[in-house]
Amino acid sequence: EVHLWESGGGLVQPWGSLRLSCVASDFTFSNYAMAWVRQAPGKGLEWVSSISGSSESTYYADSVKGRFTISRDNSKNTLSLQMNSLRVEDTAIYYCAKVRMGARVNDWYFAHWGRGTLVTVSS
């Protein structure tokens, strides 16, 4: 069974920085793209960023482009999200997710999710 464990959340002031981590187990980490998805309090799901298995390709939502950086260390089965210039609207639970390819060409979905880590941006 796939396991994903997020950490690094907490309270940070606006314009501050935070680094999230996700440790994966029970699957060949380097073979899969990974992603971060967030959920603001009482709101729906919002995709944040994704990275290919080899780190060759990275993708960002417009709302975080230029402020967040996704990375991975396949030797440590770890996914990271460096968040800079944080805003109040970045307050959310951040989920780590394993990405799988769908049946159609250029189609991807989130096969497994971690339990999430809460990031609160407030002064």
Partner 1 sequence: SYVLTQPPSVSVAPGKTARITCGGNNIGTKGVHWYQQRPGQAPLLVIYDETDRPSGIPERFSGTNSDNTATLTISRVEAGDEATYYCQIWESSGDHWVFGGGTKLTVL
Site string for partner 1, 4-33 (x = CB under 8 A): ------------------------------
| Contact pick of 23, 45, 55, 71 for partner 1 (by CB under 8 A) | 45
Which among 80, 6, 3 has a CA at the least distance from the CA of 39? Answer: 6
Q: Which is nearer to partner 1, 37 or 83 (CB)?
A: 37
By CB under 8 A, is residue 68 in contact with partner 1?
A: no
Which among 81, 73, 28, 37 has a CA at the least distance from the CA of 55? Answer: 73
By CB under 8 A, is residue 95 in contact with partner 1?
A: yes
| Contact pick of 32, 83, 114, 119 for partner 1 (by CB under 8 A) | 114
Can you tell me the distance from the alpha carbon of 22 to that of 44, in angstroms, rounded to the nearest whole number? 21
Which among 68, 72, 78 has a CA at the least distance from the CA of 17? Answer: 68
For 95, the token pair is: 């989920």
**What are the residues facing 73 on neighbouring strands?**
78
Q: Which is nearer to partner 1, 42 or 123 (CB)?
A: 42
User: What residues line the site for partner 1 (CB under 8 A)?
Assistant: 35, 37, 44-47, 50, 59, 61, 95, 100, 102-104, 106-116
